[in-house]
Chain A
């Protein structure tokens, strides 16, 4: 366990440096004048001009060399300072915490609801294989085949326009969270219910499971003692990976529901060449990825005592 945490800390440092350096190099390598991009985002397309770009270049000292600005970023980072946005001048930490906070909130709520949908669906698929499995498969394929914004639109049409129970878009109140969460959960559950079903089927067919039935344990007790943990192992690993991809990839949901998340923010920062915001966001996502992997490992460590014994 100690070794695992030690390794993860080393990994974290490597990720921080790697992600920061890579985003910096990639952003600097993009064609086009950074000053014009920043001016366009700051002053709006009607006001971007060579004069505005020059003003930005002077104000932000964009003429300094790439190496010197990268080292200033590293020095700031060593002091836990992510710098200020080139567009708005706001501290990157404020921007990232606002956006990432909203994304994490949506991702956690969506993932939690997806687990609540996926487990019963997956288990029911195995239990009533003949008639329920095809229904679950059709549901999964249909949902996966639809772009996520179409699912969102269907929910908006039902809950916001027809019944008028919930707001179409926005944030700040719990009601605003419901529709994006539901959209995300349904999209995620379409895949994870198949993982649950496949994992369950694998465990139920396993010799140790068959043996526990033969030695006289009731089906419920067998499931509780030998089924749950074994089914959970691949599912937990899958949900861990799903979580981070959800945070990065819910741009469409954020756009549709005007949700101020990190996906939308990151896309805008890339268009605007707002390098400190891109670096700060990528860094936080990298750190989250390592931390989440650690949590998943620890959970698997707790669920599966064999790992402890192997070590």
Chain B
């Protein structure tokens, strides 16, 4: 009996000790990336808290962009796609132990609707609770992509206690497998496993996210074992990481594309032939292998092969032909002057390109393009500025060419981003002074096309228009290199950047 009591006490002591164990190397998975988060408000920084599995959305997304049930089991539209009934999962508890029901969901969605975010772009008329576990969203026009928008980080479901009276998020009380343990904006988040989680419970006690400002620092953190998972790694360091016995380097294709945004009203760019010539003069393979360090990433279309409805096999191998490009521009009246530059009506073919330093590779690609277009006879002046200059330049009409890294997977359904970027009025990060009646009609139709075959047919036609008319010129797809410490098991990567899948990890 005495032995039994002693064993029981020892066991209780161990459990007690475990319950209060602070984060340490042995019970914490550490992630290092470049994101700096502003605060705990999902409308601005939700992306980091969904990745850390603190907060969740009504729907999840798999690696191919297909929607999966999340806090909601299903979304059923009416025949006109103007009313969606969302059935919620039963028994979901927030980290403050309150129960998720239709009222809390309506409250969160209405607050998200009032802030800047993806839901504000949906034609929502009304959001109401129907009983305890159904939410009805009424729209002013058909909108097929509503469930995909609801899977975006700005539309997470939080406990009522998370909000102040004015809707400001003061505590982040979500439903995820991890709960907030410590937050130090903009650099550090530590989360602790939540035992009351409705789904698969996490096995690792803590997870820490630490902003690694410099790519080199993140690489060194990975090599030293300080970071178990390191993201956004500079291509020059990949070989070194691959040689390190402690780490495993994995490559993933992202729905993010390096794109040249063009002012299509510019007198040198307002012809499809001129844009096609400029595209032909780009050595995408060279940029992909020598500048980006990912040899197969050169692309002449906006979306990756994984988004098959929008991917054109006929454009799978972009060609580069400087002679053909020169001939095409000659047809438009451009002739080569004594300095090797193209000239028309006594004016040199000269363009200004802006890009931003937030992503270091953009500067290198911009100067590579400068050199490649010089061979064509086009003088490209490159200036490095802030990313906010792109939409500002679009709005005031001053932009000529911009090199941007556009994320087409910010909403799982690319239709949402594409319809914003290539609308008749243009998009801050998409087309400028370009409109195509057939394309606009196709986008309108796609918003209420549920039949998969018809959807694919229309999407392929829309993608063909973009790839032929080139209102923007795609240069390269993005590949993310991730370093994972070999002490971790079960790592998988989310190309849509919604989740680090911490609850699937084990030591």
A residues with a Cβ closer than 8 A to B are: 32-33, 36-37, 39-53, 55-56, 85, 87-90, 98, 153, 156, 160-161, 164, 167-172, 254-258, 260, 264, 268, 271
Contacts and interface: CB of A to CB of B under 8 A. Distances in A.
A42 B187 CA distance: 14
B168 interface: yes
B388 A32 contact: yes
Q: Looking at chain B, what size class is its interface with the partner chain?
A: 35 or more
Contacts of B221: 167-169
B185 A90 contact: yes
A164 B246 CA distance: 13
10 contacts: A32-B386, A36-B392, A48-B428, A55-B115, A98-B184, A161-B223, A169-B212, A169-B221, A170-B226, A258-B187
A48 B44 contact: no
Of A40, A56, A168, A271, the most chain B CB neighbours within 10 A belong to A168
A25 B210 CA distance: 35
B198 to A, nearest CB: 29
Nearest to B395: A50
Given A49-B391, A51-B116, A258 B211 contact: yes
Interface string B25-59: 00000001000101101011001000000000000
B217 A168 contact: yes
Of B120, B386, B388, B407, the most chain A CB neighbours within 10 A belong to B388
Interface string B200-237: 00000000001111101100110111100000000000
Nearest to A87: B38
A156 B220 contact: yes
Interface of B: 32, 36, 38-39, 41, 43-44, 47, 115-116, 120, 168, 184-188, 210-214, 216-217, 220-221, 223-226, 356, 358, 386-392, 394-395, 406-407, 410, 428-429
B223 A42 contact: no
Nearest to B408: A46
Given A40-B387, A42-B44, A258-B213, 18 more contacts: A33-B388, A39-B116, A41-B38, A50-B391, A50-B428, A53-B388, A53-B392, A55-B115, A88-B39, A89-B39, A164-B224, A169-B32, A170-B210, A256-B213, A256-B217, A260-B187, A268-B186, A271-B386
A51 B121 CA distance: 10
A260 B216 CA distance: 17
Nearest to B208: A170
Given A37-B388, A167-B224, A255 B184 contact: no
B217 A258 contact: yes
4 tightest CB-CB pairs across the interface, nearest first? A36-B388, A45-B387, A40-B388, A88-B38
A168 B184 contact: no
B212 A258 contact: yes
B388 A160 contact: no
Contacts of B406: 46
A142 to B, nearest CB: 22
A167 B226 contact: yes
A257 B217 contact: yes
A148 to B, nearest CB: 13
Contact of B391 (A36, A87, A255): A36
A237 B39 CA distance: 40
Nearest to B169: A89
A256 B217 CA distance: 6
Nearest to B404: A45
A260 B188 CA distance: 10
A43 B47 CA distance: 10
Nearest to B392: A36
Nearest to B356: A45
A45 B391 CA distance: 10
Nearest to B36: A268
A169 B47 contact: no
A48 B115 CA distance: 14
Of A45, A52, A161, A271, the most chain B CB neighbours within 10 A belong to A45
Contact of B224 (A49, A160, A268): A160
Contacts of A160: 220, 224, 226
A59 B221 CA distance: 39
B388 A164 contact: no
Given A32-B392, A87-B38, A255 B220 contact: no
Contacts of A156: 220
Contacts of B220: 156, 160-161, 168-169
Contacts of A271: 386
Contacts of B38: 41-42, 85, 87-89
A153 B214 CA distance: 12
B40 to A, nearest CB: 9
Nearest to B217: A169
Contacts of A260: 184, 186-188
A257 B36 CA distance: 15
B219 to A, nearest CB: 9
A153 B39 CA distance: 31
Nearest to B256: A46
Contact of A39 (B185, B188, B214, B388): B388
A169 B210 contact: yes
Contacts of A44: 44, 47
Contact of A43 (B116, B212, B214, B389): B116
Contacts of A90: 39, 185
B503 to A, nearest CB: 24
Nearest to A271: B386
Contacts of A153: 216
Contact of B410 (A47, A51, A164): A47
Nearest to A167: B226
Contacts of B429: 46, 49
A255 B44 contact: no
A25 B406 CA distance: 34
A33 B390 CA distance: 11
Nearest to A172: B188
Contacts of B116: 39, 43, 51-52, 55-56
Contacts of A48: 387-388, 390-391, 428
Nearest to B394: A50
A160 to B, nearest CB: 5
Contacts of A255: 213-214, 217
Contacts of B188: 170-172, 260
B199 to A, nearest CB: 28
